Amino acid sequence: MQTKRKILVTSALPYANGSIHLGHLVEYIQTDIWVRFQRMIGNECYYMCADDTHGTPIMISARKNGITPEELITRMHSEHLRDFNAFRISFDNYYSTNSPENRQFCEYVYLEAKKKGAIYEKEIEQYYCEHDAMFLPDRMIKGSCPVCKAADQYGDNCEVCSATYDPTELILPYCAVCSSKPVIKKATHYYFKLSEFAGELKKWVSEEHVRPEIKNKLKEWFEQGIKDWDISRDAPYFGFKIPGTADKYFYVWLDAPIGYIATTKNWCEKEGRNFDEIWKSNVFEIHHFIGKDILYFHTLFWPAMLMVSGFSTPTKINVHGFLTINGEKMSKSRGTFLNASDYLKVFDPEFLRFYYAAKLGPGVDDIDLNFNDFVLRINSDVLGKVVNIGSRIGAIVNKKFYNRLGEIDDQGEVILDKIRKVLPKIAEAYETLQFNKMIREIMPFADMLNKYINDTAPWELVKTDAKKAKEICTAALNGLYILSGMLKPVLPRISEGVEKFLGVSLINWEALARRITNHKINTYERLAERIDPAAIDKLIVSQKK
């Protein structure tokens, strides 16, 4: 028997300064599908996440709203969790970086680094906004990228080419708060000697923790030379004060990833679990899911922080691309900058899970949400090929066979065997994040099952050969059970609806091999509704206002 794996999974922490939008959901849906699959095959898999709550933008937003930063992040935490729950994102713990555990671990990592000579002070020149009377941290200054010249990039890294740089390297910089031109002032900052970890990081990268295309990108950065990392920010700043200083705070990118550790610690305390087994041993695999825009932080800064402080480094860092809508970046003027809450007013969250799965592979290519394609794919695949089996056959079994299944005919057995034989291939596609391949593999079997139903026409056959019709219906609903089971990590609510209808519980992946015969089922209840194409126009028009 294969040894079951122990796995800790994280998604990047959403920033508590804004709502969850459809672009964010690419990552959380991808992660959740993988997590649900791991649990379904019997692995011990836990999913940790939290709100990223610190930094100047939070402080300024709170001030504009006449509330404290703590009140703002509490409000956003409730909103984020509401939206994640609606999309069935199955966190084991959803926490906050503004927590006592996170403060404890930030100070621990810093003091360990300092003890080992990896921290030093340096006088630097940085931008200061005279209008707002404050030093401008990376995220509060914008300009053109010094590498690719893309406009409106932040002061730490470019979202277009992924380059990292000092804020003073920006071309035509301006304050992100008031748009005024900043001046340069001197200040003393604390630096982490990232450059001294280049050798260890190269070795770590070589050990298959990232995909080949990410290795190539990292190779470029190694060739350019790894720079030391400014981990401090000046007051006023909403965050954790650096021990031994009067007015210096940990940079948000130091305390945000440490939030993975702090969230795990909080969960372990609540659940009575061994924290060290997860983060200080090789017992647990650690898998991070991130977007390509924060690659540098997670593949260089983060492993180095873990190395210096004695925590386990990641087993795998999975990186995805961005979302475009109708072939373009999300846009408020075009009505395509859609928050999760906007989508939920109109569509079933399961449909977006399915559509993203049909597009997502293991690489960093961007995916496009084309609304015309979305309507066609959902109505055809989810409704027409999967849900439709239940509605067509359920009505016959309910009315003609008193909600009872019989045996399976020979033709049905052949089809069901063909579907079951593809289970290992589907499992492999899930494991390797080839969700698009997984959907492509499953749908032909849905077509095969529907053709079998159409060709045998049990609704007609029942008039002359009730026993045979019952066998066909039993085979069809067994097929629905397997299809919905294979899709359960993607469509958890619909799959649970199928289980309720069939009166069975899908305990794990191996249970998909079962035959459901001579069994009492329940009355069919609608699992999902077709999308009205007019709803798309209504949604987009509403967002333009």
**pLDDT surpasses 90 at 320:** yes
CA distance 520 to 401: 10
127 closest CA partner among 249, 245, 234, 12? 234
Reported as a pLDDT band with limits 50, 70 and 90, residue 140 is confident
In 3D space, the residue among 493, 460, 80, 44 whose CA is nearest the CA of residue 285 turns out to be 44
81 or 127, greater pLDDT: 81
Q: What are the counts of helices (DSSP H) followed by strands (DSSP E) for the chain? A: 21, 16
How sure is the predictor about 339, in pLDDT bands with cuts at 50, 70 and 90? Answer: very high
d(CA 331, CA 343): 15
Instruction: Please give the model's pTM, rounded to 2 decimal places.
Output: 0.93
Tens digits of per-residue pLDDT, 236-260?
899 999 999 999 999 999 999 999 9
Structure confidence at residue 1 as a pLDDT band (50, 70, 90): very low
- The b/e string for 72-92 (b: 16+ C-beta within 10 A; e otherwise) is bbbebbebbbebbeebbbbbb
On the question of pLDDT at 487 being above 60, the answer is yes
* Higher-confidence position of 235 and 105: 105
What average pLDDT does the segment 379-402 reach?
96
Residue 482's pLDDT band (cuts 50, 70, 90): very high
* pLDDT exceeds cutoff 70 at 545: no
The tens digit of pLDDT for each residue in 166-197 reads 888 999 999 988 899 999 999 899 999 999 99
Tens of pLDDT, residue by residue over 20-78, are 999 999 999 999 999 999 999 999 999 999 999 999 889 989 988 999 999 999 999 99
What pLDDT is attached to residue 503? 96
What are 346's two structure tokens? 């109109």
The arithmetic mean of pLDDT across residues 303-307, rounded, is: 98
| Domains, the chain | 1-118+193-320 (3.40.50.620), 349-513 (1.10.730.10)
Of residues 136 and 352, which shows the higher confidence score? 352
**For the residues 102-118, what does the mean pLDDT come to?**
98
CA angle 211, 214, 219 (to 5 degrees): 125
Residue-averaged pLDDT of the chain: 94
Instruction: For residues 303-332, give the mean pLDDT.
Output: 94
